[in-house]
Every structure is written in structure tokens, then in C-alpha cells.
């Protein structure tokens, strides 16, 4: 009997967790009756009533696993903690805010049966304000420079086969994003368009700074083109500066003064100073990622773990690098 693993990262999703579980459970029961299932919720350091709601769900269904982090480590870590414990023949990642249509899970599973190892729910429309839509479009266009097959509307709702999941779990670098990782595996990809719904509960925890951080991580995780762009811009202004130097020398010998005033020098200094600082900042972004990788710290720490195998909670330092097949119960 095939199994589907449902992975749901949780951060301040009080109120939406039980409806999300009920909707997805109904989709699996009616749309995939031949599938066994498991749910894996990761509480990413929520400070509301999310964990208590998860435990209520687990009390109703022993096939629900609840992973509780010691603090907030971010959505990427929350997804990875669950994916590394997924037992299913297919695994689907879906948000807990009811904005992604859970009824598509059955359709996505059928696509994996046709031979697609990665199925992406591609957002073709989103109910966001004008500023969010514009910034999202700019980000995704930049992403498509280094990853041409990156969906134009992005994606957070996806499914992988066991083969793709095993390959995904072999990726050991710590500074990366799920979207770029999936598209870098090289397996057959199927995109299914959908319109993202309006959030019925609470508000998004992705504020402006979180979105900027996620955008930078996606752009720099597997791409060298920002460095190439920086070096190209530097070369361009070097040539322009050399040409301007020749112009000053010419003016010195054939005119009374090499320039009218100090304004041209100030303009050049300001432009070049800004470019130099920007390039140093870009290099610093890459250096920080190298430094972060060399430290080899765990990308998350589990405080409590409730699973079908054991009702004891697990206190451990869970390090993604290494063998995850064993658990030490306290």
C-alpha cells in the first residue's frame, strides 16, 4: 500500500491548523483512497497556541507526528526536519495557512504516478497588494537568470517522489532554499498552475526583512551571476574612468584648466565609492555563507518529538549532516 507523507511547517498558525488537517485528511481519504498517510507538523518556535492545537490533532490521529523546535529556526529548517523523517512513497509540502488548495494533492500524486518525480504548484495569480506583486515579479525574474525553469510565479506547495526525496536529503549545505534545491536535482518536473487563496486566519509571518533574506538566499545559493555582474560593472567603470583621465590630460595640455570645477571629480568619486561599497557588500554575502558552512552548526534543534513509533518526546541536538536513521529516546 503506497504512503503519502504530508509535511507542514508551523509558525504562529493558531486557528488554521485543525481546519488544514481536516481538509487535507479528507482529500487523501476521498481522492487517494488506496494511499496510507502520515502527517508531519514542525512547530518552528511558535509563541501562540499552535503547539497545543497540534497535540489535539495528534490525540485524534496517531498517524500525526509533531516536531517541536527549541526556538524559531526558519521555514527551511522546519521543512527539512519533517522531510528527513518522511516515510512515504511521495511527500508533499504545504503551508498551514489554508492559502494553498489542498484538493490539488490528489492531482499531484497522480502526476508522480505518471513518472514525474517533482510536481510544483505554480502560482499564476496571488491576492497581494501592488507593492508585493511588483517585488515578487522582480525577484522571480532575477531567479530565472540562473534557474531558467524557475516558475514565473514561484512556488511553496510541492510534491516529490521517494527517489527525488532521497536525492534531496543528500544535499548537505546549510545555506540554501528548498525551491532552488528541487530544481537543481535534474529529475522530471511537472508544473500545475493555481491561484493562491486569501489567508482566512491570522497574518503572514513573512515580514519585509524575512522576504529580503529569503530572496538573497535564493539568488546567491546556486548562482555566480551576481559576482559576474559586479565584476562587469567594475570593468565598465574602469574603462570610463580611464577615458575620463585621458580627457583631463588633454584639457591640461590644450586648455587653461583641466576642468571647470570640482563637481566632475565629486560625481566620479561618489559613483565609484558607491560601486566599490556595493561590490564589497556582495563579496561579503558570499564570504558569510562560506563562513557559515565551515562552522557546521545544526540547522535546527529539536526540543520535543511525538511520533507514531513512540509517545516519548525526544531531547536531542538534531544535526542534518550525518546519519538520521536512529533516535535516542529519553
The pLDDT value given to residue 315: 40
The pLDDT value given to residue 220: 59
3-state secondary structure of 2: coil
Distance of CA 172 to the CA centre of its chain: 15
Distance CA 44, CA 208 (A): 19
Distance CA 137, CA 125 (A): 11
Q: What is the mean pLDDT of the chain?
A: 79
Distance CA 150, CA 219 (A): 12
Distance CA 24, CA 94 (A): 10
The C-alpha cell 513509533 sits at 309
How many Cα atoms occupy the beta-carbon half-sphere of 78 within 13 Å?
27
- CB atoms under 10 Å from CB of 272, counted, come to 15
Supply the Cα-derived Rg of the chain in whole angstroms.
Answer: 25
- Its pTM stands at 0.73
Distance of CA 297 to the CA centre of its chain: 19
- CB atoms under 10 Å from CB of 12, counted, come to 21
CA torsion, ordered 163, 169, 172, 178, to nearest 10 deg: 90
Q: Are the beta carbons of 31 and 110 closer than 8 angstroms?
A: no
Distance CA 101, CA 157 (A): 9
Q: What percent of the chain has pLDDT over 70?
A: 68
3-state secondary structure of 316: strand
Higher pLDDT, 49 or 246: 49
The pLDDT value given to residue 201: 53
Please, what's the largest Cα pairwise distance for the chain?
Answer: 90
Grid cell for residue 300? 535546527
pLDDT tier for residue 326 given thresholds of 50, 70 and 90 = very low
Q: Which helix (H) or strand (E) holds 253?
A: helix 225-254
| Residue-wise pLDDT tens digits, 140-162 | 677 676 677 778 777 889 999 99
Helix axes 263-295, 208-221, angle to 10 degrees: 80
Grid cell for residue 258? 583641466
Least confident window among 72-86, 126-140, 211-225: 211-225
Amino acid at each position: 500500500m503506497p504512503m503519502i507523507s504530508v509535511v507542514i511547517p508551523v509558525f504562529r498558525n493558531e486557528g488554521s491548523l485543525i481546519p488544514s488537517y481536516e481538509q487535507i485528511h479528507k482529500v487523501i481519504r476521498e481522492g487517494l483512497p488506496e494511499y496510507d498517510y502520515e502527517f508531519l507538523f514542525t512547530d518552528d518556535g511558535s509563541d501562540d497556541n499552535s503547539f497545543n492545537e497540534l497535540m489535539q490533532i495528534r490525540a485524534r490521529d496517531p498517524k500525526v507526528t509533531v516536531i517541536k523546535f527549541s526556538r524559531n529556526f526558519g521555514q527551511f529548517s522546519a521543512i527539512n526536519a519533517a522531510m528527513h523523517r518522511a516515510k512515504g512513497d511521495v511527500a508533499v509540502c504545504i503551508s498551514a495557512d489554508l492559502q494553498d488548495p489542498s484538493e490539488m494533492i490528489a492531482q499531484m500524486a497522480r502526476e508522480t504516478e505518471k513518472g514525474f518525480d517533482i510536481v510544483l504548484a505554480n502560482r499564476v495569480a496571488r491576492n497581494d497588494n501592488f507593492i508585493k506583486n511588483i517585488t515578487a515579479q522582480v525577484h522571480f525574474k532575477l531567479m530565472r537568470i540562473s534557474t531558467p525553469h524557475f516558475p514565473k510565479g514561484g512556488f511553496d506547495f510541492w510534491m516529490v517522489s521517494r527517489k527525488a526525496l532521497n536525492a534531496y536529503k543528500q544535499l548537505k549545505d546549510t545555506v540554501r532554499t528548498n525551491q532552488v534545491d528541487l530544481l537543481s536535482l535534474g529529475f522530471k518536473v511537472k508544473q500545475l498552475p493555481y491561484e493562491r487563496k486569501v489567508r482566512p486566519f491570522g497574518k503572514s509571518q513573512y515580514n519585509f526583512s524575512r522576504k529580503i533574506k529569503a530572496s538573497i538566499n535564493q539568488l546567491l545559493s546556486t548562482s555566480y551571476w551576481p559576482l559576474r555582474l559586479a565584476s562587469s560593472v567594475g570593468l565598465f567603470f574602469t574603462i570610463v574612468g580611464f577615458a575620463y583621465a585621458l580627457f583631463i590630460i588633454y584639457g591640461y595640455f590644450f586648455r587653461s584648466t583641466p576642468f571647470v570645477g570640482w563637481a566632475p571629480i565629486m560625481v566620479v568619486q561618489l559613483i565609484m565609492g558607491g560601486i566599490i561599497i556595493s561590490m564589497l557588500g556582495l563579496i561579503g554575502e558570499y564570504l558569510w555563507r562560506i563562513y557559515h558552512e565551515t562552522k557546521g552548526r545544526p540547522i535546527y534543534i529539536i526540543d520535543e518529538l511525538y511520533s507514531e513509533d513512540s509517545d516519548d518526546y525526544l531531547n536531542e541536538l538534531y544535526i542534518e549532516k550525518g546519519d538520521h536513521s536512529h533516535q535516542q529516546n529519553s
